[in-house]
Structure 1
């Protein structure tokens, strides 16, 4: 039975190198296998500009794991299975694998899907998730805004829900934040 490396989801935050946590920076600098999410047919490394902006150099030997931008459950399931299988193969070499994540690894991230399927394939794999600064929290801080105070309610929704649901959700929540740092909507009091 192989001795697996650890699967680490390293949150890079919203792109400002000063907002990367010390832990994410440290694991990205250690000699280990780096993996990045990408889309099929869009080049070897998709969206490397974010990683460069964060000050993380993506080496030529980084592993690209394909996660198509679709809501089709069958297509996604197959992609997650392929990516998880490749991840388990890499982890079986005994080295840690750091999966670089834009934003936060636990918020609307492909890392959660990857970790779940890896655990199904190899339950003995240790998974670590390094929290990051979410883009919506960084946007609120940079504008001096608050997302919620005291007993106010806050909803964070995937951008895929579309703008049409925001008006409805504002009847139920004080603040609605579409994922990926898009502008938040706030009910006036």
Structure 2
């Protein structure tokens, strides 16, 4: 009998936003897999430890997942991670792979999930609180009302101009070093005055900027801009 892979969403950073279901799955699994940009870093694991310090008594495997736009390199990292997980699943171990926010939204987990599922293994996704929902709550605003549409845009990629031209509320994610370009586009569109930025929502160093003029090249990758009509 093979083990099961769970993609466990842990929310945007506030440990209190980790769902009870996520806690139960983590506690029940034999192996905890955590994506890390380097050998010493795992933001997701750091957050979970605040709720479940006993997680360190489990077998924890780090999956090297550096940020890169090189498609071939990304595929290699994802395949390597999937192969490592398969090794544990083949030994009938259930594996919980932690992921920030929600696993279905711009998540590294999804790539591994597909590879594992294609290999004939059982997989489950545990939903979590998306960063933009937590950000809107922190700002005290609604994202959409009535018939208003909501658009989620990966701000550091090409094509953001078309997305910003759509009606309704726009949520810009994956910002980081693209902040200056984003500010120029929003200002050109006359949308900058209706934009609010919150970085590291629920994490140490959280900051809310009601004016994008305050944002600079040091803006965190874990930032969300909400543009209201």
Q: Normalising by structure 1, what TM-score? A: 0.85
State the match for 2:196 in structure 1: none
In terms of fraction of residues, the more strand-rich structure is 2
State the match for 1:132 in structure 2: 128
Relative contact order: is structure 1 or structure 2 higher (C-alpha 8 Å, sep ≥ 6)?
1
| 2:167 maps to 1:173 | yes
Shift of 1:83: 0.6
| 2:226 maps to 1:184 | yes
2: distance between equivalents of 1:108 and 1:170?
18
CA contact (8 A) 1:136 1:181 kept: no
State the match for 2:52 in structure 1: 56
- Structure 1 residues 128, 24: closer, same or farther in 2, change over 3 A? same
Shift of 1:38: 1.0
State the match for 1:33 in structure 2: 31
State the match for 2:149 in structure 1: 153
How many aligned residue pairs are there? 178
What is the aligned counterpart of 1:80 among 53, 78, 81?
Answer: 78
Deviations 1:159-181 (A, max 9, x none): 4327x93x553321311112255
Shift of 1:70: 0.8
Deviation >6 Å, runs of 4+: none
What is the aligned counterpart of 2:21 among 2, 20, 23?
Answer: 23
Deviations 1:122-161 (A, max 9, x none): 21x1111000001110111222211111111111122432
Shift of 1:4: 1.2
CA contact (8 A) 1:91 1:97 kept: yes
- Structure 1 residues 130, 181: closer, same or farther in 2, change over 3 A? farther
1:93-104 alignment runs, 5 A limit: 93-104=91-102
Alignment RMSD: 2.0
Shift of 1:28: 1.4
1: distance between equivalents of 2:126 and 2:33?
15
2: distance between equivalents of 1:65 and 1:102?
14
Q: Normalising by structure 2, what TM-score? A: 0.71
